[in-house]
Structure 1
Amino acid sequence: MKFTDGFWQLQPDTSVLYAREAYDVDAVGDTLVVTAPTKVIETRGDTLNRPTLTVTLSSPLEGVIGVRIEHFRGARRPLGFELVGAREGVAEVTTENGGGTLRSGALSAVVTPGAPWELRFEADGRTLTGSGPRSVGYAQTPDGAFVHEQLALGVGELVYGLGERFGPLVKNGQVVDIWNADGGTSSEQAYKNVPFYLTNRGYGVLVNHAGKVSFEVGSEAVERVQFSVPGESLEYYVILGPTPAEVLERYTELVGRPARLPAWSYGLWLSTSFTTQYDEQTVNHFLDAMTERKLPLSVFHFDCFWMREFNWCDFEWDPRSFPDPDGMLERLHTEQDVHVSLWINPYIAQRSPLFDEAAGLGYLLKRPDGEVWQWDMWQAGMGLVDFTNPDATAWFQDKLRRLVRQGVDCFKTDFGERIPTDVVYFDGSDPEQMHNWYTQLYNQAVHDVLVEEHGVDQAVLFARSATVGGQRLPVHWGGDNTSTYESMAESLRGGLSLALSGFGFWSHDIGGFEGTPDAGVFKRWTAFGLLSSHSRLHGSDSYRVPWSFDTDPQTGAVDEGPESAVAVTRRFVELKLSLMPYLYRHGLAASERGIPLMRPMVVAFPDDPGAAYVDRQYMLGPDLLVAPVFSADGEVDVYLPPGTWTDWWTGATVQGGGWRRERHGYDSLPLYVRAGAVLPVGARTDRPDYPYLDGLELRVFPGLAAGEERVVEVVEPEGVAASFHVLVGDDGEPVVTTDAAGSWRVTRVQA
């Protein structure tokens, strides 16, 4: 939201009062409280009839400093996020010569006394960012009162994050409103809005406001990031790195890290798709055909029409298509050996018997006049479950618990973005601030059921909407894309942006959701999707089974040659399953440290300016570089940071430090291994959850010098762990010491 018209003037009918000076600075316990009048106080008379801003500095965690800016301190505080890692007693406060400093670990906030207003954030003897003149403001506009802050951007400083955004990865020059919306991947809107950004200057910023936050990222004052919220106060936290990975580590320590995911969730998911016709016979046909073609499948997903039309959500199987759901689920588990996912959302259609039940119990959101809030978008006459009501939440959870006990393993928690603001919540919450937060309550309610029924390490969501805290409830997928190369690329940008917002796991609809991809798009997307953290075949009005592609239009014969959709799917499913010892361990690291499994290049190579803008490739874990192919002819540009890289497919070494243009068939894509990597490769390609140590191969890649050692840890799905110490001898051969039992082996990779 812009308050100024250029540098000198304000927007029409807008006034802004700025913090002009630090009039006094007081140490109050472990906080620093600054009185910041909106005029430089020259006489006693200047203290009269003059709005004053109160700026309070504190620290919830070492290396994190909070700033609260208040106009009327008696106003109701806005809804903030759950700071699950907050602690007490981590700040050191000093005042001297009228100014003050608050230190938290290596991070300091320094308030300069007097005029002009200056608040600096420092670490290791350098200023990271700061709030200067005309930065802290209280604005009156035709839309009401707002508080804003502006933090300085240095020369060459780049901003990342702010949720799953599908435009340019670097946010400089963009206007970003934190407001969840169902806008698809081809718009400036986002399903997952996160008021957190980080920069290549060594810090991140979280605006602790659950409602709408408007960011002007060098787009109003070009040398500053501005963020504003409606009302009388604003709170934000500056989070020290200094590297992007360390910023994410500290940020997720504060707001929570991803839950551990079961190994089976990393395998291939197959969906019925959205509006397609299907029943139990269709499902069995798909599963049998996957088995026949040796395409390992881990999860089968039933999309919306597992329930009867107009009834969503009544949590009842449509008896016309699924007359024996209990028996079907038993057969899926025992005969087909797949896990089962069901689509749900938090909306109750009025045709469903549950609507009258929920409305009668007061479990649905109401309008200010006391009537149930309803509309006809999505499902006719639908209402929304009020998750601020504990009884409503328990009622909703009971419906899911029955399905879990019936044999359902996980839920796709769709929607959660279309949340109205003309409603009254059970607990009196502000509807504007609940708009983004609603999805957290919804997803938490579902996740809690799965934890209770399946165990803490077996709970899996497939969620579309999120805000701060959503990363604790994985997995998230990228929403409604289209079946084009361009949408494939924008989906990746969204996933990388989400990773830079603290989310450890991410997926996307392989082949695109809207439309039907041609065979080329499907195959390129399949390679990309199976080298993502989680992999799902899903569409809207057409199936995404591989044999639907590469079909002769005259004869109907399916091509299953080496570059067919079937062969490409098999090749990359098997590749992913063989990499499970590597992927599963670094998935656990995402839960332990908050470092995403799919890592933007700027996270993996923060000191390489060449990596700063790269948004068409990523690191999968610390050692694998993946560059999806976004072209029909197979041509792809890949950036290799300085150092030696090994081609996964050929074993040939390449020197990095620049861009390469390559051409790949459908059965390939640029896949490079970092210098000195030791990758644990599993012996099985039939499922993701197998004993990784049995038949394990340690592949030692070029780049380890004589005397260098790498430690590789392998953790099996059942929890058995082993460490391998790989030391390169003078003859270049690797020597391994380990506490592992079993038939492992070591291989030196050469071209």
Structure 2
Amino acid sequence: MIQNTQTNKHSLGALTGASKCDHYYELHFATGEIAHFYVLADGIFRLLIDPEQNFSENQVANIQLAQFDNTAFTNSQVRATNDSLIIHTGNYQIIFGQNPAVLSIFDESLHHNRMRQSQPLEFSENETREFLAENQNEFFYGGGLQNGYFSHKGHKIAIKHDQITGKGGVIMPVPFFWSNAGYGELRNTTAAGSYDFGKTQRGVTVLAHQDAVFDTFYLLGTTPKEILQRYFTLTGKPMLLPKYALGLGHIGNFCTTLWQPSHAQERNASKIGNNYYTRTKDENAASGKASLNGEENYQFSARALIDRYHAMHFPISWFVPNYGEQPENEQALSFFNEYAQTQGVHPGFWHQGEVDLPEKTDFTYTAADEAAQDTAKLQSESQKERPLVLADSGTAGMQKNAALIFGDVGGNWDNITNQVAGLLGANLSGQPLVGAAVDGLQGGGNAQINVRDFEWKSFTALLFNFDDQGNFSKNPFAYNKKITEINLAYLKLRQHLASYIYTLNERAKSGELILRPLFSEFPDERANYTAQFGNEFMLGPDLLIAPITNGREDKNGDSRKDNLYLPGKKTLWIDLFTGKKYAGGKVYNNLTFPLWHLPVFVRGGSIFDWNKRDFLLYPQEQSEAISYDDDGTIAASNSYTTKICSKVEQEKLVVTIAPTEGNLTKKFVEQPTSLTIMCDSYPDAVTIKINDQVVPVEEYGSLAAFNHAHEGIFYNTNYGLDEFKKYHKNTQTALQIKLAARDITATEIEITVRNFNYGKNVLVHEITSGVLPSPKLPAVDSSKISAHSFELAWPHESAVQIEINNLLYVGITGKSFTFHELAPNTRYIIRMRYAIRNKVSEWSDLFGVITKHAAKDYAIENIEVTSNCDSKENHPLSYLTDLKLASEWQTSQTVSPEQPLELTFSFEKVEKLSRMVFVPRNIDHNGDPLVVSIAVSTDGENYTTYADHLQWKADTKNKVVGLRDVRAKKVHLTIYQSSGPIVAAREIIFFRAKR
């Protein structure tokens, strides 16, 4: 037995014996532990080690064990060798080593290990740790919604809800992760944990939970979909949202919000009626109070806001009027619910704790632990066959009862990148029903960020605003006419995509993702598994969205976009709005996008149901789509699907629409069919067959005539998205076909288009030209290398292509280019060639550059801090040194020169410092220190004053105190005066000197 007597930790001893019991294998170890190993199903195993040997095998957290019978266990076989015990089940060998006692799972079909422990399990009184061997090309996902992260290799994540919503915040901790090596683990515990994927020790994953019992489910699968299927087998399939949940939602507080008169010039003023107002907490300054139905002032009521949405032509779909407040007058809430329903709006109810739901409540917004009981209430009390429950946090299994929504501090470009990664991480953790509030809860005030945020979130599972929690209104018409019209255009586009998103929701039950990282569709490209292009995502298999994530603009005020990766070397990508075509497998640079234009690209071969059998096709090679629909009930028998196939072969396109399968209500059986087929030129002939019979269909020469016909063909040279035609002239070409209503359950449609051409000139290889000389002397200026960027220069002004770590960067001209969004302390291997149209030179010689360390690499971790003042409940002192800029520490009392705040920072060892950085809060500056002193100690007892009564300003700037050549074990900070009634900070960071 290997034991650490100081920490009372010990490693699992040698395997000494084993036996096959009635439904599990019992294993005995030299250190006294007994393990139960369960073969639950193909690719689902459980290892339970309870030091107390209680083996409460049915005490599981949100895991459905009753579904498993004993078949897989009975069929398993066991044999012993000189050094191991091998359990054989299906294609898997579960191998328990004798000494050391390590577990590995061997896949006979692949002839290699899916997973392997690198050393025995470690036990202590209140913690267990598992050590797994990592492969060089292995990447890790899961852990819940870890905001700002979705790919965890080289990182350490916390499995603990921390009340932080910004970067690094764990909004939904899930004790589940999986690896692209083909396995995952779900830990059966509610205890806090941490998963270290090679950050501390390269090549070793360390999984720790503050639980003395080790109880883990091992899930095996060849693809992410298979692993998630097994995760859903244990925890439940994601719920299917009611269709109204896909529409625009609004969450606000119409119970206590106060309004005071203001002026249009005020940044946070809202126009209500003919006047401007701002929110206030001063009852004496207020001229109006919010209410549900106008009990106070109608113009400030929830009813009036619904009226304003409709007056602005925004179709509001669902509405929560009481966020953060429990209304005293339930009758008033019932009256509001009734009014909302008459306006086509679904009313929701926010609550904490178990309460009775008001009459006519369509859905609830609650805490995660109440989601299941709310689902049952809505089904029984309100007769909701498909209830909607929204939750603000969650853990494993919440996907079967609730969707996850959250908000953040708005008005911040970084939030877009963070939330893209966070939403991807939630999808990869088994919760595809997730959304983030447009422009956050608090903060805001930047119109450009607001509209860019609304744009990309129109392509997520849930779209909603979170209002009345800060000084700025968050509704989509809070800014000027230009912003309002862009938001409205994207909302209408989302309505077109409702069938596509609804189908993705249904497929999520089988393990498919709604929001997908690039590797999900392009698994052969290593870069897609990392965070290199983690600010891009795919909505389903067909749409790639690359949000605008910074305020870089050209001279026309258009957003500049570099580092936009379109994967797949044989894939055609089409700009959804302009129709411009791009070849995949390249990183595009120097792109510009006006404010209305979100970078959205359609994958070649995509087929969309644009709602009500209005199909939109982007033909390339062979593809198919299956569109799902139902009558809104939970009965599977009331659903139906339609399969559409497209095949391009030697300039002939064949589109087949199969008969709809399933159970349609009679009134929906007879439906017309429309197709829009994107093409580059006028085709020779179009043949339409209905159930193998050729049907003559007239071709029309004008769009007006075509629109009035019941059936017809029209070659449209001015096709485009109508919602955006005011921004961009419709210049795409498309073949449009309309067919009269028929029984879609008994009708097969086959359309053949000859002389078909779409995008074939885009996917061409560059021609190496001997006329173009190979580049000489491309170089990187060492003075312009940072942690995240470097500048490459070459002697002659020209268009160039640059290959960096086997990725091709194009769209680069001039004599130099700066590469951004790079990883710190990373080697980049580079070569370059000149390019003129489709002709390129030979490559230059290879050369390299290594980016610098990030500043955070020198930040001291694990700092212990003490204070003489208490902290607010949700803003603990630990937030001051957690190295997460999204967290905020706050005192619960005021400070003064007579009673100053005393903070003591203790390091694990004596550190040679370089500087201290104070990061102020970012919502306001009511709590910034104004007068501070700093003292240092090398022995932790005796202090020397380093800086006395420094004067700081209350503003957005970080306060930096140079500590060059200072050695310290502890630092003492005294704050004598604050700009507000408390002291607050996002972070105090101590940096060690660079080595």
Shared fold (TM-score, shorter chain, > 0.5): yes
Larger RCO (CA under 8 A, 6+ residues apart): 1
Q: Cα gap change, 1:474/1:232 in structure 2, threshold over 3 Å: closer, same or farther?
A: closer
Structure 2 counterparts to residues 173-184 of structure 1, below 5 A: 173-184=154-165
Equivalent residue of 1:471, what SS?
Answer: helix
Out of 298, 301, 304, the position equivalent to 2:323 is 304
Out of 622, 632, 640, the position equivalent to 2:566 is 640
Partner of 2:644: 725
CA distance in 1, matches of 2:131, 2:37: 16
Q: Deviations for 1:455-476, whole angstroms, at most 9, x for unmatched residues? A: 5642111211101111112211
- Higher strand residue share: 2
Contact 2:127 2:211 in 1 (8 A): yes
Partner of 1:21: 14
Out of 516, 519, 531, the position equivalent to 2:444 is 516
Partner of 2:620: 703
The alpha-carbon deviation at position 54 of structure 1 amounts to 2.4
Q: Deviations for 1:545-596, whole angstroms, at most 9, x for unmatched residues? A: 233213xxxxxxxxx2xxx221111111101101112111111111x31323
CA distance in 2, matches of 1:35, 1:284: 67
- Higher helix residue share: 1
Q: Cα gap change, 1:663/1:726 in structure 2, threshold over 3 Å: closer, same or farther?
A: same
Out of 655, 662, 672, the position equivalent to 1:743 is 672
Contact 1:244 1:606 in 2 (8 A): no
Equivalent residue of 2:598, what SS?
Answer: coil
CA distance in 2, matches of 1:610, 1:224: 21
CA distance in 2, matches of 1:331, 1:116: 69
The alpha-carbon deviation at position 659 of structure 1 amounts to 2.1
CA distance in 1, matches of 2:143, 2:313: 41
Q: Cα gap change, 1:326/1:16 in structure 2, threshold over 3 Å: closer, same or farther?
A: closer
- Gapped runs of 5+ residues in structure 1? 1-7, 38-50, 309-315, 347-395, 417-438, 551-559, 683-692
Equivalent residue of 2:424, what SS?
Answer: helix
Structure 2 counterparts to residues 187-586 of structure 1, below 5 A: 188-272=168-252, 276-277=257-258, 278-279=290-291, 280=293, 281=298, 282=300, 283-304=302-323, 307-308=326-327, 316-317=328-329, 324-334=332-342, 336-346=343-353, 396-397=354-355, 399-400=356-357, 403=358, 406-413=359-366, 416=367, 439-440=368-369, 442-455=370-383, 457-539=385-467, 540-541=469-470, 542-550=472-480, 560=481, 564-586=482-504
Larger Rg: 2
Partner of 2:873: none
Contact 1:150 1:224 in 2 (8 A): yes
Q: Cα gap change, 1:585/1:167 in structure 2, threshold over 3 Å: closer, same or farther?
A: closer
Count of matched residue pairs? 604
The alpha-carbon deviation at position 164 of structure 1 amounts to 0.7
Equivalent residue of 1:723, what SS?
Answer: strand
Counterpart code for 2:629: V
Q: Deviations for 1:404-430, whole angstroms, at most 9, x for unmatched residues? A: xx21211111xx4xxxxxxxxxxxxxx
Contact 1:33 1:54 in 2 (8 A): yes
Identity %: 19
Structure 2 counterparts to residues 675-686 of structure 1, below 5 A: 675-682=604-611
2:70 is the alignment partner of 1:84: no
The alpha-carbon deviation at position 172 of structure 1 amounts to 2.6
Q: TM-score, normalised by structure 1?
A: 0.76
Equivalent residue of 2:410, what SS?
Answer: coil
CA distance in 2, matches of 1:327, 1:57: 57
Q: Deviations for 1:127-183, whole angstroms, at most 9, x for unmatched residues? A: 1221233x31223xxxx4422211211112111110111133222333333222312
Q: Cα gap change, 1:231/1:299 in structure 2, threshold over 3 Å: closer, same or farther?
A: closer
CA distance in 1, matches of 2:420, 2:644: 35
Q: Cα gap change, 1:248/1:638 in structure 2, threshold over 3 Å: closer, same or farther?
A: farther
The alpha-carbon deviation at position 273 of structure 1 amounts to 5.3
Q: Cα gap change, 1:126/1:494 in structure 2, threshold over 3 Å: closer, same or farther?
A: same
CA distance in 2, matches of 1:729, 1:496: 33
The alpha-carbon deviation at position 515 of structure 1 amounts to 0.9
Q: Cα gap change, 1:197/1:150 in structure 2, threshold over 3 Å: closer, same or farther?
A: same
> Where does structure 1 differ by over 4 angstroms across 4 or more consecutive aligned residues?
75-79, 454-457, 716-720
Q: Cα gap change, 1:736/1:509 in structure 2, threshold over 3 Å: closer, same or farther?
A: same
Contact 2:48 2:55 in 1 (8 A): no
The alpha-carbon deviation at position 109 of structure 1 amounts to 1.2
The alpha-carbon deviation at position 453 of structure 1 amounts to 3.5
Counterpart code for 1:345: Q
Out of 150, 153, 169, the position equivalent to 1:172 is 153
CA distance in 2, matches of 1:594, 1:110: 28
CA distance in 1, matches of 2:253, 2:424: 25
CA distance in 2, matches of 1:649, 1:93: 59
CA distance in 2, matches of 1:169, 1:709: 29
Structure 2 counterparts to residues 4-19 of structure 1, below 5 A: 13-19=6-12
Partner of 2:116: 130
Contact 2:3 2:9 in 1 (8 A): no
Out of 81, 101, 111, the position equivalent to 1:97 is 81
Counterpart code for 1:495: L
CA distance in 1, matches of 2:151, 2:657: 44
The alpha-carbon deviation at position 671 of structure 1 amounts to 1.1
Q: Cα gap change, 1:54/1:675 in structure 2, threshold over 3 Å: closer, same or farther?
A: farther
Counterpart code for 1:411: T
Q: Deviations for 1:589-633, whole angstroms, at most 9, x for unmatched residues? A: 11x313231122233333321211232121112211112111223
Partner of 1:433: none
Q: Deviations for 1:691-716, whole angstroms, at most 9, x for unmatched residues? A: xx3xx321111322xxx452433414
- Gapped runs of 5+ residues in structure 2? 259-289, 554-558, 633-637, 661-669, 680-731, 733-995
Partner of 2:36: 56
Partner of 2:542: 623
Q: Cα gap change, 1:324/1:622 in structure 2, threshold over 3 Å: closer, same or farther?
A: same
Contact 2:173 2:395 in 1 (8 A): yes
2:627 is the alignment partner of 1:713: yes
Q: Cα gap change, 1:464/1:206 in structure 2, threshold over 3 Å: closer, same or farther?
A: same
Q: Cα gap change, 1:131/1:714 in structure 2, threshold over 3 Å: closer, same or farther?
A: closer
CA distance in 2, matches of 1:516, 1:289: 21
Contact 1:727 1:734 in 2 (8 A): yes
Equivalent residue of 2:15, what SS?
Answer: coil
The alpha-carbon deviation at position 79 of structure 1 amounts to 5.1
Partner of 2:583: 655
Counterpart code for 1:146: E
Q: Deviations for 1:482-537, whole angstroms, at most 9, x for unmatched residues? A: 33111222122221111111002111110111212310011001102211111001
Contact 1:639 1:659 in 2 (8 A): yes
CA distance in 1, matches of 2:520, 2:406: 20
The alpha-carbon deviation at position 118 of structure 1 amounts to 3.1
Q: TM-score, normalised by structure 2?
A: 0.58
The alpha-carbon deviation at position 57 of structure 1 amounts to 2.0
CA distance in 2, matches of 1:272, 1:672: 34
Partner of 1:42: none
Contact 2:362 2:384 in 1 (8 A): no
Equivalent residue of 1:257, what SS?
Answer: coil
Q: Cα gap change, 1:543/1:615 in structure 2, threshold over 3 Å: closer, same or farther?
A: same
